[in-house]
Structure 1
Amino acid sequence: MAENECVPEYDCREYFKEAVCIDAQRVYDSCSDKDCLEDIRVLFPAARQPLVDSATNVRVREVQVITVYIDLQPIPFNKGFYSVDMTFFFDVALDLFGGTGSCPVPVNGVAIFNKKVILYGSEGNVKLFASGCSIDELAPEDCRVLPKATVQVAQPVALSARLCDHPACGCEPYCRIPEGICQRYGGDFDACTPKNTVYVTIGLFTIVQIVRNVQMLIPAYDFCVPEKECVASSDNPCELFRRIDFPTDEFFPPKATDLPGGCR
């Protein structure tokens, strides 16, 4: 920003006190992607599958990311490059319809998507040892300094859903669902016995990065001393209510001319 830029006639070094060395995560490589995940199979626990089997139509309401499992492996004969294998687990909220005029039945299932990218993470042949570790718990391979892969995921866009007869060819291959996700849905998932299957189309925005811990020299201006005092909370609900601003915008919604970029 302009206010943070140094004025030419002044020396920037007059404003910071010292140069300090910090240990920070530097981004060595990154990529962004926009994926349209078409016809991703939705899996349901055994207790919910009869609801899907009796449905005649389906509608997708919302998709959330449960978790992303990341596996980072060096690429042979291409030093410094790594393969980032990602497995996305989505919670898919659906409405099932069983006939004309019937009320929709809400049900949640799990969709799985695998993605792989190749990024540069540089090389390093050092090992890191830190205090506080037990000699019995520390394995030699745990000391190697490797890069770390991170994935940022925006809110997925639920595009469509369709209901299909289960194919007669048998069980479709799918990734094993971790035990923690199975417990969240209250049972195991069975992909081989359903009468009907649900497929969804999801819009996904991701940013994948490879970072390494490096020592960097930066200018230090001062310590970050808090300037705001902590306000003690009160148990009186009316006192808490008085601190809430009156919601004027709820009673008087903004006009088109009040919005940023609106017509003038």
Structure 2
Amino acid sequence: MAINFKKFVPRPGLVNKQGRLPDPSELVCVEVPKVFDQCLIKRCLVYADGPDTLTTDEELRSNPLENPKRYLSSRDFKVRLLSVDKIPLKGDPNFKKIILNYVISFYSDYMDDNGATQCEFYEIYRTDVVGKFYCPDSIAQISATSDEECEDEDLNIIKLEMVAEALAGEIVEDEAGEEVLDITLGYFIVVKCQLLVQLLIPTYDYCPTPREACEEDPEEDPCERFEKAPVPRFYPDQNLDPLFPEYDETER
């Protein structure tokens, strides 16, 4: 039996596979970027002098450091798309060869001999080629207006989404005898081709006004919080094999 719409409160959340939703109140047309194709770039880069390759980058070495003691960690990873070249493929111009030029930036922290934390800034300029990418051109031409200007919008969007981390950091001596920090960088980049389209979707009206939850929690006495806390486990789980085999239907 379907859920009574009067008892249904529309809100974001998981949809139970066993449950049923009431019929939507209306169909609406929304304008959103739709992903037409995507692919994954996975790289593990180490420092090496000379031209960049699929596994090396000469910009993964810092400037000379003053009395470094040890590498700590890296943070604030960002990716910025610099330029995109789209070359239509013969036979189907909707498929294109994509040449991406982008830069990855981050900070690496290290400790000096005085125990103070210092940091180095890295910018890694990379070029990658996607051999065959479904990135069709928009059929409709749209012009947007505002109070300030009127200009044609770029309907085809190439978007990069990145997850990156410094896999290792090592303080070494360079050819001049200076101490430098070499970073091993690992990252995943999802390349997306998006096109601004109009989609027809079912809706349940506007999202309801959220409950009042933007108030600061009152400070709780630490001893009161300790009294309410459950008793901790004193021993870890034992690594034991089961005494009996799993239940077997043939035993019935």
Following TM superposition, the consecutive aligned residue runs of length 4 or more in structure 1 with deviations greater than 4 angstroms are 4-7, 247-251, 253-257
Task: Give the corresponding residue for 1:215.
Answer: 198
| Percent of residue pairs identical | 14
Partners of 1:133 and 1:93 lie apart in 2 by: 46
Higher relative contact order (CA 8 A, sep 6+): 1
Partners of 1:120 and 1:58 lie apart in 2 by: 49
> Are 2:235 and 1:252 equivalent residues in the alignment?
no
Show CA shifts across 1:40-66 (max 9, x none): 53445xxxx5xx1x43x6532111235
Distance change (3 Å), C-alpha of 1:256 and 1:216: farther
Task: Give the corresponding residue for 1:129.
Answer: 143
Show CA shifts across 1:184-224 (max 9, x none): xxxxxxxxxx9443211122233232222111111112321
Structure 1 residue aligned with 2:212, among 210, 222, 230?
230
How many residues were matched structurally?
207
For residue 70 of structure 1, report the CA deviation from its aligned partner: 0.2
- The one-letter code sitting in structure 2 at the alignment partner of 1:3 is N
- The one-letter code sitting in structure 1 at the alignment partner of 2:128 is K
Task: Give the corresponding residue for 1:160.
Answer: 169
Q: Report the TM-score, using the length of structure 2 for normalisation.
A: 0.64
For residue 166 of structure 1, report the CA deviation from its aligned partner: 4.2
Task: Give the corresponding residue for 2:246.
Answer: none
Q: Which runs of 5+ in 1 are unaligned?
A: 98-102, 168-193, 258-262
Counterpart secondary structure, 1:75 = strand
Partners of 1:165 and 1:64 lie apart in 2 by: 24
Distance change (3 Å), C-alpha of 1:124 and 1:34: same
Structure of larger gyration radius: 2
Partners of 1:64 and 1:159 lie apart in 2 by: 13
Counterpart secondary structure, 1:130 = strand
- The one-letter code sitting in structure 1 at the alignment partner of 2:70 is R
Q: Which runs of 5+ in 2 are unaligned?
A: 1-13, 48-58, 243-252
Q: Is the Cα–Cα contact under 8 Å of residues 42 and 110 in structure 1 kept in the other structure?
A: no
Q: Is the Cα–Cα contact under 8 Å of residues 80 and 104 in structure 2 kept in the other structure?
A: yes
> Are 2:186 and 1:203 equivalent residues in the alignment?
yes
